[in-house]
Amino acid sequence: MPEAFEQKVKQPGAQILDVRTAEEFKSGYIAGALQADWLKPEEFSTRSQDLDALKEVLIYCASGKRSAYAAQTLRSKR
């Protein structure tokens, strides 16, 4: 985990969004992360709507591709 991301994750109240599948999530996750499968658009939309749009969202996946798409989508909704 990159150092800057790791430091932000440790901040109280950090919003952490895991966009991996449920199976990937079950194999290990960051404590306090919200899982919203990017590959299931309805699930992603429903689960991510509870994020505070005024706060930074830390998004992660296995390779960075899904998290980049998810970040772009969330930015467009603001």
Q: What is the pLDDT of residues 21-72, one digit of tens each?
A: 999 999 999 999 999 999 999 999 999 998 998 999 999 999 999 999 999 9
Is the pLDDT at 78 greater than 90? The verdict is no
What is the CATH number for 20? Answer: 3.40.250.10
Q: Which two tokens stand for residue 29?
A: 């996750």
Q: Which two tokens stand for residue 26?
A: 């079950």
Q: Which two tokens stand for residue 47?
A: 């689960």
Q: What pTM does this model have?
A: 0.91
Task: Please report which confidence band the pLDDT of residue 74 belongs to, taking 50, 70 and 90 as the band edges.
Answer: very high
Spatial neighbors of 77 by CB under 8 A, at least 6 apart, are 53
Amino acid found at 53:
A
CB 66 within 8 A of CB 19: yes
Provide the residue range defining the domain that includes 47. Answer: 3-77
Number of structural domains the chain divides into: 1
Task: Please report which confidence band the pLDDT of residue 77 belongs to, taking 50, 70 and 90 as the band edges.
Answer: confident
Q: Which of 28, 23, 30, 33 is nearest to 57 (CA)?
A: 33
